[in-house]
C-alpha cells in the first residue's frame, strides 16, 4: 500500500535520522488504516559528501545527479520502520552502503537514463536496472542499494 505521508526534509537531521523519520511516517500512516497488520515503511537517500539526493523531479535533474556521482563514492542510506499498532510494537533501523561509480561521460549518462526510469529512484539510478553501467563497486548490502536492506530486515523480523 502506498503511504500518503509527505516526506519531510529537515536539514538539522542526519541523512540516517531523516530516512528513519520518513520511514516511520510512511509506516504509521498505513498502519492507521490496517492496525492489525505488521506494516513496513522505508525511505532511501543517496548521500555525496554533505549533499542529499532523493528522487529526481525531472530527467534533467537525474542527469545532474549522475554527473555529480560519476567517478566518486557515495552512500545509500535506507531507513526502515516496522510497526504493529494493535500490539503497540515498532522497530526503526537504518542501513548504509558505500557505492563507487565508474567515471562516466555525458553520453554514457544519457544512455543509462534512456534505458531506465530514474524518476522514482533516489539518486536517479537503480543498481538492479543496468547498474553495471554505473557501479564500479559496493561496500555493504546490495539489496539496500536496490531499495530495501533484505539481510538486516530478515534479522529484525526473526527477532520480532
Sign, CA torsion 152/155/159/160: positive
Q: What is the pLDDT of residues 36-67, one digit of tens each?
A: 999 999 999 999 998 999 999 999 999 999 99
User: Using 50, 70 and 90 to split pLDDT, how confident is the model at 147?
Assistant: confident
Is 89 in contact with 35 (CB distance < 8 Å)?
Answer: no
Residue 144 has a pLDDT of 96
Residue 132 annotated in active site: no
Catalytic residue from among 36, 43, 49, 132: 43
Q: Is the pLDDT of residue 19 over 90?
A: yes
Stated pTM of the model: 0.92
Sign, CA torsion 79/97/74/63: negative
Radius of gyration of the chain (CA): 16
Give strand pairing partners of 157.
none
User: Using 50, 70 and 90 to split pLDDT, how confident is the model at 9?
Assistant: confident
Amino acid at each position: 500500500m502506498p503511504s500518503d505521508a509527505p516526506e519531510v526534509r529537515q536539514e538539522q537531521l542526519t541523512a540516517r535520522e531523516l530516512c528513519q523519520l520518513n520511514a516511520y511516517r510512511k509506516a504509521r500512516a498505513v498502519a492507521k488504516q490496517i492496525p492489525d497488520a505488521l506494516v513496513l515503511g522505508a525511505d532511501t537517500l543517496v548521500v555525496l559528501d554533505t549533499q542529499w539526493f532523493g528522487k529526481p523531479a525531472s530527467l534533467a535533474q537525474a542527469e545532474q545527479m549522475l554527473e555529480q556521482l560519476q567517478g566518486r563514492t557515495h552512500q545509500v542510506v535506507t531507513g526502515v520502520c516496522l510497526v504493529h499498532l494493535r500490539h503497540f510494537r515498532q522497530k526503526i533501523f537504518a542501513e548504509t552502503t558505500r557505492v563507487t561509480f565508474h567515471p562516466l561521460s555525458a553520453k554514457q549518462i544519457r544512455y543509462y537514463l534512456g534505458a531506465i526510469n530514474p524518476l522514482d529512484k533516489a539518486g536517479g539510478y537503480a543498481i538492479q536496472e543496468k547498474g553495471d553501467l554505473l557501479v564500479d563497486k559496493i561496500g555493504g548490502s546490495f539489496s539496500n542499494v536496490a531499495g530495501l536492506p533484505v539481510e538486516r530486515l530478515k534479522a529484525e523480523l526473526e527477532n520480532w
